[in-house]
Structure 1
Amino acid sequence: MIGTGYVGLVSGVCFSDFGHDVVCVDTNDQKIAMLRGGQSPIYEPGLDALMAKNVEAGRLSFSTDLAASVNAVDAVFIAVGTPTRRGEGHADLTYVYAAAREIAKALSGPTVVVVKSTVPVGTNREVLRIMREVRPELAVDVASNPEFLREGAAIADFMRPDRVVVGAESQTARDVMRALYRPLSLREVPIIFSSLESAEIIKYAANAFLATKITFINEIADLCEKVGGDVQDVAKGIGLDGRIGGKFLHPGPGYGGSCFPKDTIALTRTGQQHNVPIRIVETVIAVNQARKLGMIDRIAAMLDGELVNRRVAVLGVTFKPDTDDMREAPALTIVPALIGGGASVAVCDPQGKKEGVTLLPGVAWFDDPYEAAAGADAVVVLTEWNMFRGLDLSRLRQGMRGDALVDLRNIYLPADAVAAGLRYASIGRVAAAGHAQAS
C-alpha cells in the first residue's frame, strides 16, 4: 500500500484484517516511525486497535523502502494524495505518476497495480502507459479501485461496504481483485467490474451527487425559514421516498472535508476539458461557498450586527464529527471572518486542535465546552460532536455574558433553548415563541 494517508492506512489495515499480508509504504520517515511505534498519524475511531491487532499477528508492517516492499507481491496499491492544483481546480497527479514510475522500476515480476487514489478520468490508463514505458518487458495490469470511506466510519465502510467498484480490463486483474475482496463474499457484497474510465467516473459522480443533496437541502432550509416551514419535517417527508433516501439531507453550514470540495471541482474541470459542462455541480460548488459566508451573517445577526469586542465560543471546528480533518471545514471560513470582524473566539473541539492551532491562529482553545462558553456573547455549534449534543443549556447560559445560541447543526430543540433563557437560531426551522431566528 503506497501512501499512509487516510485512504492508504485505513485500507491497508483493513486488508490485513482480511488475512492478507500488507506492507504500508511512505516516504515520510516520521510517519513510518509513528506507525511502527503503534501510533496512528490520523484520528479514526477503532483504527489504533485494529492496527495493533494485525501488527501483532504479523500480517501488517510499515516501511519507507518501496523497492523492497513491492518485491514478489500480488498487488500494489497506489493510495497517495491528489490535491487540487492551486488556482486551477485540476487534481494534482504528481504523486500518482511518481509512484507508478517507482513501482515499475522496482517490480520483479507480473503484478497488478491498483489505483486507490481518487483520480480524474484517464489517469489509470496513463499509469499503465507510464509503467509500460519504464518497463516494456514487464507484464503489468492496472486496476482502478476507488474508495468510498466516510471519515469517522471508515472501518465499517471498508468491512461492510454497499459495493466494491473495480475497473479492470484483464482477467488477471479481475481474479486478483476478487481474491483480495473474497472475505466480503460471505456478506454478498456486490463487486462491480467496469472499464477503467467508468470506475473513475463512478467515484466522482457519487461524491458530486451527495454534495448536491447537501446543497439542495440547505437551500430548502432557507426557503423554510422564509415561509414558515420546518426543514427537518421536509427532509423526513422526502427522505422516506425510496427514490430519494434520507441520507445527506441534513442542513448545515455547508459541506467540507477532503473529498467533496476537491472532487466536485475536479469533475467540473474534466467536463470543461471535454466541452461537457457539469452545470449542476458547478452551481453546487458556488452555492456551497456562499453558504459558508452566509453563516457569518447569521452569527452577526444574533449579535445585533456587531462583532467588535464580542466574544464568540465555537463548538466544533473539524468538518464533521469523529475525525481530526480540517480540510475545507466551514470553520476555516467562519472563524477567521469573526476574528477579522473584531470578535474574540474561543474554540472547543475534541480532535481539532492538532491541525487547528496552525490553521486558526488567534483563537483560544478549551477542552471543556462550558469553559469555552464562559463570558461569551454567543455560542455557535459548528460541528455536531456527541459531547455537544447533551449540554446543560441552563448551565451554558449561566456562564455566558450574552444569551445567543447559534445552532448550525440543529441538535437542540428551540423550545429547550428558550426555556434555558437563550435566544436561539438554527437552520430552516420555525421560530419558537420568545426566540429570535436569524435570517
Structure 2
Amino acid sequence: MKKIISIILILSLLNISCSSLNTKSTYTFSSTSLASGDIDSALRSLPQGEGTTFISIMEKTYLNLLKGNPDIDTLAAYSHKIDNQVRYKVSREAKSFFFIETPEGYYASEHEIIWMHFMLSWGYSLRGDFEKARVEVNRSAVLLSNRFSEEGRFDDAFMRIICGVLWNMCGEWDHARTDFRRAIMLNPSMKWIKELVNMETAPKNLTLILGGIGYQPYWNPKGDAFVRGYRDVDFKAAGNKSDLTLSIPENIKLNLFITPDSSAWYARHKTRNNEISDTIDDVKYAQKFSISSAKMTSRMVFGIAGGLLIFTLIGAAGIGIAALGLYAESAEMAGFGIGVLIYGGYTGIDFAGSNIKSASSDYKKEMNPSDKYRYVRFLPEYSWLGWSNRKITTPITVNSIKNSSIIYNSTTITNNQNNTIIGYYPDTQIQ
C-alpha cells in the first residue's frame, strides 16, 4: 500500500526539469584529484555535461597546460568566435566592467577572458611558436592596460606577474619588466620584485609555481536570500599559502616569493554578476523560488495526505479486525486488530515525515545558488616566483616547513638561452 501511494505521488511530481549544466558537486572528483597533484585523474574526471562550452574548454586547457601539454587548438578556435564580442556595463558605483557573452550564453568575466589569452600564449610558447605567443600575451596586456577604451578598467597585481612571466617566455624582457613594475604599483608590499624590475637583462632561470586548486563558491544567505539569492554567493580559498624554497644544485635553496592572491578576481566576478543580476539572475531566482516553494509545499501536502490515507486504510482495517474479535469474543483477534491500527498510525506518520524531510532537503539544494554558480574553475589562487642565474633542472623540488616535494608537473621553456620554468603545487587539502 505504501509503495503504491509513493508511486502515485512521485508521478504527480514529475514536472521537475533537468539541466545538463555542470554543478559544484560534479567537480568533486576533479577537485580532489587536483588537490593531490594528480592532474591526469583531474582531467579524466572532469564533468562532461556541458560539452564544448567556454567553461569546459578553459578548464580542460588549463589542466593540460599544467602538465606541459599545449593542447590549445580548441581554445584557439573558440577564441576567434568571441574576440569581437566584448560588451560593456557600468555599475551603479560608476565602476566599469567588460565581459563577453559566449555563444552558449555564458557571460565570461574579465579575468577569464584575460586568462584565455594567457593560456594561448603559454601554449604557443610550449610549442616554440613565440610569434603567436607574443600576440596572445599582448592581447592580455591590452585588456589589463585598458588601451582600447575608457570602459572596462581591470588591473591586478597577480595577473601582471603572470603577464610578465609570459613576456619573458617570449624573450621580451623589457615588456616583462614593465608588467612587474606595474605589479608593484598595484601592490606596494611586493618590494621583493624590485630586484627583477632593476635587472637590465633577464635572469637565466625564472621560475613560476602556480598554487591552489581555485577559489570555491559557497552560499552565504542573508535576510533577502529568497529574492536576491544569487547575490549571496561568496568565494573561499583552499590553498595554504605555504612558505617555499626551491632546491637547486650544490645543496642551495633558492627563495621563492609568494605573490598576491586571486581573491580580487572573484570579488569582481561576483560584483559583475550582481550588476547583470539586476535584470537577469534576480528574475530567474525569484521564479525558481516560487516554483521550488510551490513544489515543496505540494510534496508536503501530498506527504500529509498520503500519510492520512495510509492511516485511514490500514487503521480502518485494524478497527474492523478488532470489532470482529470483540464480536467473536476472541482476545487474540481483537489484539491483532489494535496492533494493525497502531501500525497504520505509525506507517502514516512515517510516510508523511519522510516526505516532508525529503521535500525540505531537496528545496534547500535547489535554492542553494552556489552549487549552480557558473565560472571557470581551477585557476590559480596565488603563485610563487623565484629567479637565479644558477642551473635549475626539472622536475623541480620545493621545500616547505613540513617536507620536500618533487613537482613532476613542471616544464622548462627556453628562449634566447634563458629558461622560464612553470610548475604546479596544489598546497591544499580538501576537507
Pick the TM interval, shorter chain: under 0.3
Higher relative contact order (CA 8 A, sep 6+): 2
TM-score (norm 1): 0.24
Larger proportion of helix: 2
